[in-house]
Chain A
Amino acid sequence: MNIVVCIKQVPGTTKVAINPATNTLIREGVESIVNPFDMYAVEEAVRLKEKFGGKVTAIIMGPPQADQALKTTIALGVDEGVLLSDRAFAGSDTLATSYTLAQGIKKLGGADIILTGKQAMDGDTAQVGPGIANWLDIPFVAWVKKVENVDLTTKKIKVERMMDDGYEVVESSLPVLLSVVKEINEPRIESLRGKMKAKTFKPVVWSAKDIECDPDFIGLHGSPTLVNRVFVPVRSGKKEIIEGATVEEKAEKIANKLREAKLIN
């Protein structure tokens, strides 16, 4: 089974500065890490390989130093790493990024399963995963919290998809792109053997030309997105703080509310 895991390098801190002129993140001078959500995708990819056999390739778009992120995945059990790096990719929005990654995956010869984290920790858009699936014209399942089964003969996969109020069981044909949530697994620590392999690892580096990109779809030029404003969105879920002088009083209030909602008798 061929598994591809898409990763992103993000600032290793939650205190990022925003360039007021472009409303984009200032990445210079900030230590980079692999997007934490992608680490669950990497772990799941390695587990799937251990269970079903095959190969895991990590792919990333970024500057030459993004090979550090690939090294991290190699230490965790990923077999190969591809770095899509070209000045022409600079300024990519989620549409151009997903196009570029999709072109890279095509060049790899496709995959049975493509994994991504549910979203990146910096931009938080959650658009690149579905974007790649769209460019590749394959099914996409978001927020996967468990892979129940993969049937390589019938080319089917069954997964559990996390919802606000429970989960859905989804069956899909292969190839498929899954974005995973942190509930899916507990990432392992880098093994000694992995670290030693990572030490000498050199990624495959592909330019825009190597992966046959249409110049109109990549980089700033291929990015129709304009960032008007950056703000913290209002939470849609309702929250209420129960107040009272004693624990008993608060408990009583909660119990009454639950009764009103007919959740308890």
Chain B
Amino acid sequence: MMNYFFTEEQQMIIDTAKEFAVKHIKPVREKYDEEGHFPTEEVKKMGEAGLCGLYIPEEYGGMGKGIMGLCLAVEEMSKVCSAIALSMAATALGTFPILLFSSDAQKKKYLPDIASGKNLAAFGLTEANAGSDALGMQTTAVKDGDYYILNGTKQWITNGGEAQVYSVIAVTDRARGSRGLTAFIIEKGTPGFSFGKKENKMGIRASATRELVFQDCRIHKDQVIAKEGMGAIVAVNTLYNSRPGVAAQALGIAAGAFEEALAYSRQRKQFGQPISSFQAVQHMLADMATEVEAARALLYATAKTIDAAGDAKAFAKESAMSKLYCSDTAMKVTVNAVQILGGYGYMKEYPVEKMMRDAKITQIYEGTNQIQRNEIALGLIKENASKK
């Protein structure tokens, strides 16, 4: 076993998340996947176990264990079910705008209930015609005295309808381009704010994905994050911080699928011997294990680097690398895990087909892997240019 020199507290996070996953997630994952059931009960228990506020500072009710703490818990829970772990990981995505840019008053108002698991959060950036081109969004926020009036629809929002707190980006001044976007904190139940139907997805089916619909939704200016025009900066910095969380989710899926494949290969007998004795299978397992370990090393290094700096802004490239590599690894490893389990792998009685379906989204959301490569290349060019 590789030694990552975890602190005693990091080891406690791993142990707690593992125990939680085995006790509370494993028994329901198949059912929730099949029925598309949101894990409301499990999230409550996750909060009680102390796993919801790892990345939130102690002064706001969290544990102050940084991105690394968040990643360790997400990885461990995703080994068992990434969709249920996502309820917390996507909450982190929705919370980062507040954590990074909000006033102390906004932090005091929203963070403690998120840290305790009482409230979930969500991030509203994507629209039907603004995916990778997020700045091409149509949702508008028009100033009206002390209020902004929001109109438009956000699409494919994880935790949509289940979360109480939404960080939403809207256009306040189209003429100013990327400086014409503004971030708002919007609470569920605000008049003019409703949800579209729950999406029927390939994977992460226990996670809820819905549209956020704004129709003349009046939001007080006190709900603006940072200040008007800062929306794009809020959004990109949120993603720099949240991408290691997606990487951790992907890593967990990969590690979980690998463990299933390894155990199965030793128990499944063909031609009178375990299939793990065949070199064809051995080489697959060797590649899977190596890739999982490499993904883990990259992610932990990224998370520790960001935590040490106290900010992800300077590490957009590394953040993108970890998301890219972990999610590509998750896809590859889960496909091979299904292959090793053969016909059984294709059946829903075994968890690897679900892991394969769940893995795909990690290559798509919070920036497709094509966008991650753009980000990495941009970082490389910037770094090289600044040397001159």
Q: Which residues of A contact B (CB under 8 A)?
A: 188-196, 199
B174 to chain A, nearest CB (A): 45
A104 vs B297: C-alpha distance when bound (angstroms)? 52
Q: Are A189 and B63 in contact (CB under 8 A)?
A: no
Asked if A195 and B16 sit within 8 Å, CB to CB, the answer is yes
Interface pair B8/A191, CB less than 8 Å apart? no
In the assembled complex, which residues on chain A have CB atoms less than 8 Å from the CB atom of B50? 191-194
A-B contact count (CB 8 A): 32
Give 6 closest A-B pairs by Cβ, nearest first.
A192-B50, A191-B50, A193-B50, A195-B12, A192-B16, A189-B19
Interface centre among A191, A192, A194, A196 (most CB of B within 10 A): A192
Contacts of B133 in A (CB 8 A): none
**Chain A residues in 8 Å Cβ range of B20:** 189
CB distance from A197 to the nearest CB of B (A): 11
- With A188-B48, A199-B8 in contact, is A193–B23 under 8 Å at CB? no
Which residues of B, 114-132, contact A by the 8 Å Cβ criterion?
none
- Docked Cα-Cα span, A199 to B12, in Å, equals 10
A199 to B8, CA, bound (A): 10
Of the A-B pairs whose beta carbons lie under 8 Å apart in the complex, a sample of 21, sorted by A's number, is A188-B48, A188-B49, A189-B16, A189-B20, A189-B49, A190-B16, A190-B19, A191-B48, A191-B49, A192-B12, A192-B13, A192-B16, A192-B49, A192-B50, A192-B54, A193-B50, A193-B63, A195-B15, A195-B16, A196-B12, A199-B8
Main secondary structure of the interface of A (DSSP, over half): helix
B51 at the interface (CB under 8 A from A): yes
Which residue of chain A lies nearest to B15 when distances are taken between CB atoms in the complex? A195
Q: How far is the CA of A188 from the CA of B45 in the complex (A)?
A: 9
Q: Is A191 a contact of B16 with CB atoms below 8 Å?
A: yes
A194, closest chain B residue (CB): B50
Task: Point out the residues of chain A lying under 8 angstroms from B48, CB to CB.
Answer: 188, 191
Contacts of B146 in A (CB 8 A): none
CB within 8 Å for A196 and B49 given contacts A189-B20, A189-B23, A190-B16: no
Asked if B9 is at the interface (CB within 8 A of a chain A CB), the reply is yes
Least distance between A49 CB and chain B CB atoms (Å) = 14
CB distance from A190 to the nearest CB of B (A): 7
CB distance from A192 to the nearest CB of B (A): 3
Residue of B nearest to A186 (CB): B23
Neighbouring A residues of B54 by C-beta, 8 Å:
192
Q: 0/1 per residue, B20-56, Cβ < 8 Å to A?
A: 1001100000000000000000000100111100100
B52 CB to nearest chain A CB (Å): 10
Residues of chain A lying within 8 A (CB to CB) of residue B8: 199
Q: Which residue of B lies closest to A189 (CB)?
A: B19
Identity of the chain A residue whose Cβ is nearest the Cβ of B69 in the assembled complex? A192
Q: How far is the CB of B242 from chain A (nearest CB, A)?
A: 21
CB distance from A39 to the nearest CB of B (A): 14
A162 to B48, CA, bound (A): 29
